[in-house]
Amino acid sequence: MSIILQTDKLNKYFYEPEPFHVLTDISFTVDEGEFIALVGKSGSGKSTLLYLLSTLDTEYEGTLTIKNRLLTGLAQDHLAKFRNDHIGFVFQFHFLLPEFTALENVMMPALKQGKLKRNEIEEKAMEKLRQMQMHDFANKPSAKLSGGQQQRVAIARALINDPAIVMADEPTGNLDSANSEKVIEIFEDISKNNGKTIIMVTHDNDFARRANRIIELVDGKLVR
């Protein structure tokens, strides 16, 4: 199995209101198709680390390599294109555009990428919604969907460009237990049956145990 992501001695500092060493010498690799759970107490640095891995935060020391490409030091426009092509995002809050339908929300990253015709993108978006069992709600405004339904649409949107890695920050943190279970089942399915690499920050130990591997942070340091 090939390595898809590698970090070498990542260090992150916050300087306000006073200097604080958030992450210390974080080095690890992730294999293609792995389902990783990033765990740790509140303030341990797990969400900060995910933002570094996702290239949304570039203020750090050390190096980050994804798909054999060194991303450290790249210009923002190159990083934005790399993210859109290779990384799918699922956050605690779905960040759907409320005035657009579920289908239109899912289509947006692919429209931005510009590799396919609009009708091809629409067809692909419907396929992703079907995978999430949300195809019956394709033409419903996202504001009219329940929280669990919105999160499933957000996962479909994260998958539309066939990313190499899906990064999720507390994807069940805003959901009840039934919808949380559905979301975890979806992640298990896309990891096992679609070969997607998933890196998920979670505070739920039961869900973390369903990943292939757990990476734990304590006070900004890797402990396992």
Helices (H), 132-176: 147-159
What CATH superfamily is the domain 3-222?
A: P-loop containing nucleotide triphosphate hydrolases (3.40.50.300)
Q: pTM for this one?
A: 0.88
Is residue 105 a contact partner of residue 185, using CB atoms and an 8 Å limit?
Answer: no
3-state secondary structure 83-100: HHHHEEEECCCCCCCCCC
**Sequence ranges of the domains in the chain:** 3-222
39 — pLDDT class (breaks 50, 70, 90):
very high
Within 91-146, residue ranges assigned H as helices are 102-113, 118-131
User: Mutual orientation of helices 118-131 and 147-159 as an angle, nearest 10°?
Assistant: 130
**pLDDT given for residue 206 in this prediction:** 85
Q: To 10 degrees, the CA torsion angle through 4, 79, 119, 98? A: 110
- The pLDDT tens digits of the residues spanning 98-107 come to 889 999 999 9
Do you know the residue count of the chain?
A: 224
Element of type H or E holding 11:
strand 3-14
For residues 99 and 91, the answer to whether their CB atoms sit within 8 Å is no
148-162 residue pLDDT tens? 899 889 989 999 988
Q: Which residues pair with 168 in a beta bridge?
A: 90, 200
Q: Residue 42, exposed/middle/buried by CB under 10 A (0-12, 13-18, 19+)?
A: exposed
